Amino acid sequence: MAGAADGDPVDEYPGGVPAGHPVQDQETDQARDREQGAARRGARRAPGGQEERPVTGGLAGQVPRQAGPPAGRPGGRPGGRAVPGMAFPYSPPSLEPPAPPLTPARPAWPEEPARPEAPLPLDDRVPGGGVPGGGVPGGGVPGDGARDGASASTGDQPPPARSSRLGRVGGATARAVGELLITVGLLVALFLAYQLWITDLFQARSQSRLHDRLAASWQAPPAPPPPKPSQPPPAVRPNPAVGQGFAVLHIPRLGEDYAPVIVEGVGETQLEEGPGHYPGTAMPGETGNFVVSGHRTTYGKPFNQLDELHPGDPVVVEVSDRYYVYRMTRSEVVAPDRIDVTDPVPEHSDATPVEAVMTMTTCHPKYSAKSRLIVFASLDRTVMKTPGAGVPFASGEA
C-alpha cells in the first residue's frame, strides 16, 4: 500500500496517521507555528489590558483556541478532511509550485536610440553561383516567370570591387582634367596680360630709343637752297630703311603728350615698334596718299582712340625741319581685303593724284581683326620750324 506522500488519501489509515508520516510532520510544524504566533499576539495584547485566553493541549502544552468551521462546512475550507486525533480539520498539501520571491523593481533606464542597420552589399549572390532564398540564377523565383518584375535579382550589378575601381579611375580622371583646365586658364591669362600690358612696356622703350635717334639726326639737317619769298623751301624727301623712324605723329584730340614715332614698314616687327608707313606710298607732305597703320589694343595701342576724331581735327606730322598739318575729313569701316584705300587717290585706283592726303588704318572693333577702321585727312598747310617754337597746334597756329 502506498503512503500519503504518494498521493493516497488520509482516511485509508483507520487508526490515524502513523508517527513519522509526512502528513503528521507537517501538522506538527503547523501547530508549532500557530502556537508561536499566538504567543506573540498575546504578548502584544497584554500591555493593553486585554485578557489572554488559556490554551490546552497541543505539543507545547497550550494551543490557541481554533475557530469552528462555518455552518454547513464540516471540514472548514473546501476539500478539508477531519483527521482523528487532530483538533483542526486536515487539508491536503497544495501541489502548486510556490510563488516566486518578490524582487525589487529595477529602475527604468532610458531607451537607447535605434542603431542604423548596416547596408546590404550590392551583390547578394552567394558563393557557388546560387541565389539567396532559393531563387534561380538570373534573378527569378521558381515558377515565377517573367511576369513578376519585382522578383528581379541584383545579380547583373557589378561587384563592389569593380565599382570602387571605376570610382577611383573616374575621380583621378576628373582631377587630371581639372588641373589641365586650370593650367590652360593660367596660360591664357598670362598671354592676355602680355598682349595688353607687357607689350606696351616694350614699345615705350622702343619709342624712347627712336625719339633719341631721330632728334640726333635732325640736329644737322642739310642746307636747303635759298627759298623764294612766297614759298617755303622744298622739303628733303626722307629715305628711311625698314624699321627706322623718320617722323613724329601729333594728334591734339588724343592729348598733348601723344607723339609716337612713325617707322618705315608695316610688318609685325615694325608695328611692334610703333605706327608704320606703308612702303611705296607718298611721304609726308608729298602729293599722293601718305598711309600709316598701327595697333589698336597691343604694343602701345597708338591708334586705340582713332575712332574719336572728328572732321576738321588737326593731324600733325613732324619731320626734321617742318610740320605738315593735315585735317581729318571722314572715316569708314571696311573689310580687311580692301587695299584700294592705300591707292594714291583712296578708293580710286585709276585716278591721278593732285593733292596730298593721309590715310590711317587700324583694326576694328577693338580686340578683333574682323574689319578695318579707315580715317582720311587732307594736307592743310606746312609750318616751318623756328627756334623756340613748338608744334603748331600748341601755339595756336594750327
Q: What is d(CA 46, CA 62) in angstroms, rounded to the nearest whole number?
A: 17
> What pLDDT shows up at residue 386?
86
Q: Is residue 306 within 8 Å of residue 325, measured between CB atoms?
A: no
Mean pLDDT, rounded, for 197-219: 80
The pLDDT confidence band at residue 193, using thresholds 50, 70 and 90, is confident
Q: Rounded mean pLDDT of the chain?
A: 74
The string of pLDDT tens digits covering residues 376-395 is: 999 999 999 888 777 887 54
What is the bridge-based pairing of β-strands 356-364 and 245-250? unpaired
pLDDT above 70: percentage of residues in the chain:
58
Say yes or no to pLDDT of 302 above 90.
yes
Say yes or no to pLDDT of 58 above 90.
no
> What pLDDT shows up at residue 23?
56
> What Rg value do the Cα atoms of the chain yield, rounded?
64
> What pLDDT shows up at residue 121?
55
> What pLDDT shows up at residue 120?
57
Say yes or no to pLDDT of 234 above 90.
no
Of 199 and 274, more confident: 274
The pLDDT confidence band at residue 233, using thresholds 50, 70 and 90, is confident
> What pLDDT shows up at residue 85?
53
Residue 135: alpha-carbon gap to chain centroid: 45
Say yes or no to pLDDT of 81 above 60.
no
Cβ neighbours for 104, distance < 8 A, ≥ 6 positions apart: none
The string of pLDDT tens digits covering residues 317-376 is: 999 999 999 999 999 999 999 999 999 999 998 999 999 999 999 999 998 989 999 999
Say yes or no to pLDDT of 94 above 70.
no
The pLDDT confidence band at residue 139, using thresholds 50, 70 and 90, is very low
Q: What is d(CA 101, CA 99) in angstroms, rounded to the nearest whole number?
A: 6
Say yes or no to pLDDT of 197 above 70.
yes
User: In CATH, which superfamily holds the domain spanning 244-388?
Assistant: Sortase (2.40.260.10)
HSE-up of 10 (CA within 13 Å, CB side)? 21
Mean pLDDT, rounded, for 23-30: 66
What is the bridge-based pairing of β-strands 356-364 and 288-293? parallel
Q: What is d(CA 316, CA 199) in angstroms, rounded to the nearest whole number?
A: 26
Say yes or no to pLDDT of 242 above 90.
yes
C-alpha cell recorded at residue 108: 527604468
Residue-level length of the chain: 398
